Structure 1
């Protein structure tokens, strides 16, 4: 018997219900934050999962209520980003101009590219959905529209390299 996909990822041409969509968006934001924390503090994958699931996802912090997140989706993104980091970084580096290798990119953007790359490589989400979602995540971190346009361009390049069949000629 085939294993049923329980990630909640939308199939091509389908939309997730609004609550599920919001929870997946919150999971993406949490994955970016967790990857950033792991890079900055040296936290382990398990440590980041435990901290974010118990303290951040769906919590009220400093008077601001964070949306509840799809924890299973959060874990899949985070684990795929860690497991496939070398491949994701290579695809991202290929999308960047030579003067700006991944190591020179803002660490928040680096975490975002890794989470987005994980979704593009490891989950069945349509590339355009993943790109749009992570452009929105970029807007949560950066005021200027230039970062969102930059994220869109880099992720488009990564998506075309990772899932060329999704982009007919």
Structure 2
């Protein structure tokens, strides 16, 4: 059972929001590879990921409303987000050619940058951490930081 929002500490809320972002990236990745609908993947994640226990490890509870919004916004605004991402990438590497995990990450981050009032620096930091979770030994987190910085400046120049 999840405590009401009033009973959660600021740190717990941040962890739940971070988990929602991670799950949203995983959901978009899964949608691309399974052709599941938004409704199907959201239902699956809510039933099998949020707070579930696997092999004795408890999955983090997530902010369900944020998760749902990020997945829906990433799908609904995908063309706009992909154009913004393409403008942030080098010409030889359009979004269609990049790693599918990074593509999902950029789409979810782009949804949050364009469809929420979350400060751009928070979005960038959160998604760089997600990149570190997927690519611990690679250069991808620095790449994600650079691309998201460019995307954030394009999406919300007034914030810089």
Q: TM-score range by the shorter chain?
A: over 0.9
The aligned counterpart of 1:112 is 105
User: Among 40, 50, 53, which residue is 2:46 paired with?
Assistant: 53
The aligned counterpart of 1:68 is 61
Structure 2, unpaired ranges of 5+: none
User: Among 101, 121, 127, which residue is 2:114 paired with?
Assistant: 121
Question: TM-score, with normalisation over the residues of structure 2?
Answer: 0.92
User: Among 162, 166, 169, which residue is 2:155 paired with?
Assistant: 162
Aligned residues: 153
1:22 aligns with 2:15: yes
The aligned counterpart of 1:81 is 74
- The structural deviation recorded for 1:64 is 2.5
Question: TM-score, with normalisation over the residues of structure 1?
Answer: 0.87
What SS does structure 2 have at the residue aligned with 1:34? helix
Quick check: which one's helix share is greater?
2
Structure 1, unpaired ranges of 5+: 1-7, 9-15
CA–CA distance in 1 between the matches of 2:126 and 2:151?
15
Counterparts in 2 of 1:128-143, with a 5 A limit? 128-143=121-136
- The structural deviation recorded for 1:59 is 1.3
Deviations 1:1-45 (A, max 9, x none): xxxxxxx9xxxxxxx810000000000000000000000110100
CA–CA distance in 2 between the matches of 1:29 and 1:66?
11
